[in-house]
């Protein structure tokens, strides 16, 4: 049974309503009925096929302008889009970094040739992108990066190492932030360049890293005289490209998540009631789980309201600013709490449709990636509360 939809005190325009109805009908007819494969190679292929199907029907790149092959949907339609995907039980797409981060970045900083070449392939997951920023010793302090390149005619030659690169093991193209010149006047954000490094070449060595879930979603990548035939933006202008990427990364995740988390809570409710009916759970445990579920559903409702507020503000042309940091804190901690509850209930119940142990372990990473939550708290403290910077 599908979860009940959110009741947000908000009326849709006729256009928004027909957008939602068309999407709902399409998802009803097209969401795969079979479960995702359990093995990671099979799961990635499944998600890739799903993204290609969305694209073929015009439902990928929902916020992308029509001229770039997207749907040109406004912020409210995007909000509805993610809700409908979650309610329909649709699989995830294969290349979230490509679609939500790299595509939009190429639209801002790419040349016409780059847009024409890369954007269509990102939409249909024909080409997979990853984001090579972090290194050993340069994560939160990204500007400490050491991976470097020298200019060789029209191309760059890259030497160094990147770490924790999501989709690194399957990626075709890597957007790598590199040092190409010494910082000017000690300003570390100068002398950086964003290069496109194709993985299919002898100078790139990708070592898949085994995560706590047992999967290998990210990688350590060594560049040994690797060739970067082109850059995104000019040589030396890498930091402004990196900021576009970081903004897109932070902005999009929470926006896609309240409905997904509510669907998960709905599954928890069903599990609890079944366990209560079978007498597997004692009455006091059932009462405690119901209480935790209701409290978390309230927090999901608040996340939905925040996301809707953000969509309305974007429609009015307001910039996100530090909102992204606040939303990132809120959704990541909420996901962890929902996953923990699910694991508690499924563990006691013994079986469930979802792999709650995997969900629990996956959620642990959410407070680290896209800028750790401690770093987001620092941003809020200085930019919103006006507290002095830590030395
Ligand atoms: C699942 C996953 C996927 C990832 N995908 C990518 C990817 O695709 N591309 C990529 O480039 N990177 C990726 N990362 C790396 C991620 O961006 C970094 O892990 C993150 O920025 C933290 O950096 P670090 O691991 O070096 O930890 P550190 O920066 O060394 O931090 C260690 C601890 O110190 C805290 N800390 C650091 N600085 C401060 C501060 N100023 N104030 C308060 N506390 C602080 C941190 O919060 C953390 O608890 C991924 C990470 C994970 C877990």
DSSP letters, 302-362, are: HHHHHHHHHHHHHHTT---TTHHHHHHHHHHHHHHHHHHHHHHHHHHH---SS-HHHHHHH
pLDDT value, residue 28: 97
Q: Name the catalytic one among 249, 270, 318, 359.
A: 249
What is the mean pLDDT of the segment spanning 193-202?
A: 98
What are the sequence ranges of the domains in the chain?
14-94, 129-236, 257-384
> Whose alpha carbon is nearest atom 40 of ligand 1?
375
Judged against a pLDDT cut of 80, whether residue 216 lies above it is answered with: yes
Average pLDDT over residues 267-273: 92
At 163, give phi and psi (nearest 5°): -135, 155
The confidence band for 154, taking pLDDT boundaries of 50, 70 and 90, is: very high
> Cα separations (Å) of 80 from 5, 32, 151, 309, 387?
11, 20, 46, 13, 37
Other CB atoms within 10 A of residue 292 CB: 19
Pick the CATH number of 129-236 from 3.40.50.2300, 2.40.110.10, 2.60.40.10, 3.40.630.30: 2.40.110.10
> Is the domain defined by 14-94 classed in CATH 2.40.10.120?
no
Distance 139 CA to ligand 1 centre (A): 5
pLDDT category at 90 given cuts 50, 70, 90 is very high
CB atoms near residue 270 (< 10 Å) = 15
User: Once rounded to an integer, what is the mean pLDDT over residues 59-80?
Assistant: 93
Would you say residue 235 has pLDDT above 90? yes
pTM of the entire predicted model: 0.93
| Residue 146's pLDDT band (cuts 50, 70, 90) | very high
Q: How far is CA 108 from CA 7, 68, 230, 272, in A?
A: 36, 12, 16, 48
Minimum CA distance residue for ligand 1 atom 25: 139
Q: Tell me, what's the pLDDT at 266?
A: 92
Query: With 80 as the cut, is the pLDDT of residue 6 above it?
Result: no
Residues 310, 318: Cα–Cα separation, whole Å = 9
> How does pLDDT run across 180-191, given as a tens digit for each residue?
999 999 999 999
Lowest mean pLDDT, pick from 21-25, 105-109, 148-152, 355-359: 355-359
Span 177-202, average pLDDT: 97
Q: Could you give the CA distance from residue 257 to residue 301 in angstroms, rounded to a whole number?
A: 11
The CA 329 to ligand 1 mean position distance, Å, reads: 14
* Alpha carbon of 219 to ligand 1 centroid (Å): 14
What are 251-263's pLDDT values in tens digits?
A: 665 566 888 899 9
Question: Has residue 119 got a pLDDT over 90?
Answer: yes
For ligand 1, what atom is nearest to the CA of residue 168? 8
- Residue 302 phi/psi, 5-degree rounding, is -65, -40
Token pair recorded at residue 198:
């194709």
Least confident of 128-142, 214-228, 341-355: 341-355
Query: What angle, 0 to 180 degrees and rounded to 10, lies between the N-to-C axes of helices 356-364 and 323-349?
Result: 150
Q: Residues 349-377: pLDDT tens digits?
A: 556 678 899 999 999 999 999 889 999 99
Quick one: pLDDT at residue 252? 63
- Contact present, 199 and 175 (Cβ < 8 Å): no
Class of domain 257-384: mainly alpha
Tokens (6 digits) for 376: 């987001």
Which residue has a Cα nearest atom 7 of ligand 1? 165
Distance separating alpha carbons of residues 341 and 114, to the nearest angstrom:
45
- Give the residue, by CA position, lying nearest to ligand 1 atom 12: 134
Report the number of secondary-structure helices (H) and strands (E) in the chain.
12, 8
Cα 171 to ligand 1 centroid, rounded to whole Å: 21
Helix (H), strand (E) at residue 181: none
What is the rounded CA–CA span in Å between residue 149 and residue 194? 10
Average pLDDT over residues 47-71: 96
SS3 146: coil
Mean pLDDT over all residues of the chain? Answer: 92
Nearest ligand 1 atom, CA 142: 21
> What is the percent of the chain where pLDDT is above 90?
76
Query: Which atom of ligand 1 lies at the shortest distance from residue 211's CA?
Result: 1
Instruction: Report the pLDDT value the prediction gives residue 134, as an integer from 0 to 100.
Output: 98
Cα 313 to averaged position of ligand 1 atoms, centre (Å): 29
Tell me the per-residue pLDDT of 295-338, one tens digit each, with 9 for 90 and over. Answer: 999 999 999 888 888 888 888 988 777 888 888 899 999 999 99
Told to judge if 77 belongs to the known catalytic residues of this protein, a careful annotator would answer no
pLDDT of residue 278: 86
Same topology between domain 129-236 and domain 257-384: no
Q: Which of 184-193, 205-214, 276-285, 312-321 has the lowest mean pLDDT?
A: 312-321
- State the pLDDT confidence band at 250, using cuts at 50, 70 and 90: confident
DSSP three-state, residue 117: helix
Ligand 1 pocket, CB under 6 A: 130-134, 139-140, 164-166, 218, 365, 368-369, 371-372, 374-375, 378
Question: Is there a contact between 16 and 80 (Cβ–Cβ < 8 Å)?
Answer: yes
Tokens describing residue 312: 């309305």
Mutate to test the pocket of ligand 1, among 105, 162, 369 (most ligand atoms within 8 A of CB): 369
Share of the chain above pLDDT 70, in %: 95
């Amino acid at each position: 049974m599908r979860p009940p939809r959110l009741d947000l005190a908000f009326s849709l325009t006729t256009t928004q309503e027909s957008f939602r109805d068309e999407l709902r009908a399409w998802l009803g007819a097209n969401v795969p009925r079979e479960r995702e494969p359990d093995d990671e190679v099979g799961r990635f292929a499944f998600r890739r096929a799903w993204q290609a199907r969305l694209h073929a029907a015009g439902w990928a790149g929902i916020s992308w302008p029509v001229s770039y092959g997207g749907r040109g949907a406004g912020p409210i339609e995007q909000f509805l889009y993610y809700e409908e995907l979650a309610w329909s039980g649709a699989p995830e797409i294969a290349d979230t970094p490509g679609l939500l981060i790299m595509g939009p970045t190429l639209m801002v900083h790419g040349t016409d040739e780059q847009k024409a070449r890369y954007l269509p392939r990102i939409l249909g997951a024909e080409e997979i992108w990853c984001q090579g920023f972090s290194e050993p010793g340069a994560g939160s302090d990204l500007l400490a990066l050491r991976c470097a390149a020298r200019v060789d005619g029209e191309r760059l030659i890259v030497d160094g190492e990147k770490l924790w690169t999501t989709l690194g093991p399957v990626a075709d193209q890597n957007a790598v932030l590199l040092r190409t010149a010494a910082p000017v006047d000690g300003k570390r954000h100068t002398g950086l360049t964003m290069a496109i490094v194709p993985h299919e070449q002898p100078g790139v060595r990708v070592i898949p890293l085994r995560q706590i879930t047992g999967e290998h979603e990210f990688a350590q990548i060594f560049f040994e005289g690797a060739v970067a035939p082109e850059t995104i933006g000019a040589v030396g202008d890498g930091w402004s490209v990196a900021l576009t990427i970081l903004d897109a990364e932070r902005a999009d995740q929470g926006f896609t998540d309240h409905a997904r988390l509510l669907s998960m809570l709905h599954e928890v409710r069903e599990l609890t009631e079944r366990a209560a009916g079978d007498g597997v759970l004692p009455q006091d445990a059932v009462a405690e789980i119901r209480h935790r579920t209701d409290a978390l559903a309230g927090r999901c409702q608040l996340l939905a309201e925040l996301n809707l507020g953000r969509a309305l503000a974007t429609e009015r042309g307001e910039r996100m600013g530090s909102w992204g940091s606040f939303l990132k804190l809120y959704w990541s901690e909420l996901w962890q709490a929902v996953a923990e509850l699910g694991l508690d209930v499924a563990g006691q119940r013994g079986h469930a449709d979802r792999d709650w142990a995997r969900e629990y372990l996956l959620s642990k990473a959410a407070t680290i990636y896209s800028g750790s939550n401690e770093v987001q708290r620092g941003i809020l403290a200085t930019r919103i509360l006006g507290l002095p910077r830590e030395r």
